[in-house]
Amino acid sequence: MRVVVTGGAGFLGSHLSALLRGRGDQVICVDNFSTGRRENLDALLGDPGFTLIEADVTEGLEIPGRVDAVAHLASPASPPDYHRLPLETLAVGSRGTEYGLRLAARNQARFVLASTSEVYGDPVVHPQREDYWGNVNPVGPRSVYDEAKRYAEAVTMAYHRTYDLDVGIVRIFNTYGPRMRPQDGRVVTSFITQALVGDPLTIYGDGEQTRSFCYVDDLVAGIVAMIDGDVTGPVNLGNPVEWTVGRLASEILRITESSSTIERYPLPTDDPTRRRPDITLARRLLGWEPVVPVEEGLRRTVEWFRSRPEELLAAAPSLAGAQPGGVLLS
């Protein structure tokens, strides 16, 4: 196939692009590098089956030639990014999504939206099934991301119902792995960075809030299954094994052999207290479920971060003047 991946230089987008190219698809990556990184595409640049277009999808999406599928992943996705870029986040969820839908409609192509578990907000139903409508604060500090994705789902379904467009929606739960940025503000990256540079691990709240962590290789395999299929969804993609934040901190300290301490701070506004997907639909409709245990995925991620000591130290202000090459970073 010839697949357009918006946000293709981001964490998930770059892994998806690599998986598609690895099986022989042509990939057109569109990214404005507001949060994506060119180095994520180093293995693909120069490949004749891969095309990089530096552009903002909120300003239009014109791709010459045939297009068989559009995977819309473009969006800031971590709290520091969407707080820093609130209007851009809303724009890519609205205008950016509609431009992707128009591209798919012109080509009679399949459109797959990367939505998020954040549409469930701070859920009162646990685990979260796709028929749960969520508990979202539409004017809270997280709303720019939550509501952008909720609108993206709405406009995707409107195109499906109005134009009979072939669409699929996946709701992605917490995902981690190589190519994440140490300063992106997500709990896995924050804990790994802090442990490796010797800073205290910062836990917000009592540490009993839960998340479900899916390794990136598993997650993008689920997206590809959605691209290849005819399921409309929405379909949850995530790890059904629930971890407390406190357990995650302990496991990262064990893997890194770090002597970092733990510091606790108040829970941020509207931060979900429990998060775990019901993946019954993904298993039944896509034949998908994660296979990489969290402990193994964390080990791989820690080793990737260890190989980038300068980037870690730059992300840790308390050690900005230190030299890399210590025990934890070696």
Share of the chain above pLDDT 90, in %: 83
Is residue 82 one of the residues assigned to a domain? yes
Q: Please report the pLDDT score of residue 317 as a whole number.
A: 62
Phi, psi of 128 (to 5 degrees): -85, 125
Which one of the listed residues 99, 120, 145, 159 is annotated catalytic?
145
Label residues 8-43 b or e (16+ Cβ within 10 Å = b): bbbbbbbbbbbbbbeeebbbbbbbbebbbeeebbee
Is residue 86 one of the residues assigned to a domain? yes
- What's the structural domain count of the chain? 1
Measured CA to CA, the distance from residue 67 to residue 48 in angstroms comes to: 16
The residue written with tokens 């934040």 in the block is 245
Per residue in 149-193, pLDDT (tens digit) is: 999 999 999 999 999 999 999 999 999 999 999 888 899 999 999
- What is the rounded average pLDDT of the residues 24-28? 98
> Can you give the C-alpha Rg of the chain in angstroms?
19
Per residue in 210-234, pLDDT (tens digit) is: 889 999 999 999 999 999 999 999 9
132 as an active site residue: the answer is no
Three-state DSSP state, 29: strand
Beta-bridged to residue 211, according to DSSP, are 243
Q: Which amino acid appears at position 265 of this protein?
A: Y
Check whether 322 has a pLDDT greater than 50. Answer: no
Q: What is the CATH number for 26?
A: 3.40.50.720
Check whether 326 has a pLDDT greater than 70. Answer: no
Per residue in 235-251, pLDDT (tens digit) is: 999 999 999 999 999 99
Beta-bridged to residue 214, according to DSSP, are 175
Is residue 58 one of the residues assigned to a domain? yes
CB atoms within 10 A of CB 257: 9
Handedness of CA 264, 265, 268, 269 (dihedral sign): positive
Is residue 166 one of the residues assigned to a domain? yes
Is residue 161 one of the residues assigned to a domain? yes
From the list 174, 67, 62, the residue with the least C-alpha distance to 117 is 174
From the list 267, 190, 38, the residue with the least C-alpha distance to 17 is 38
From the list 300, 30, 77, the residue with the least C-alpha distance to 171 is 77
The domain of 165 spans: 2-176+214-237
Is residue 54 one of the residues assigned to a domain? yes
Q: Please report the pLDDT score of residue 272 as a whole number.
A: 72
- pTM > 0.95: no
Measured CA to CA, the distance from residue 131 to residue 138 in angstroms comes to: 19
Check whether 318 has a pLDDT greater than 60. Answer: no
Is residue 264 one of the residues assigned to a domain? no
Is residue 51 one of the residues assigned to a domain? yes
Check whether 87 has a pLDDT greater than 90. Answer: yes
Residues 6+ apart with CB under 8 A from 147: 90, 93, 136, 138
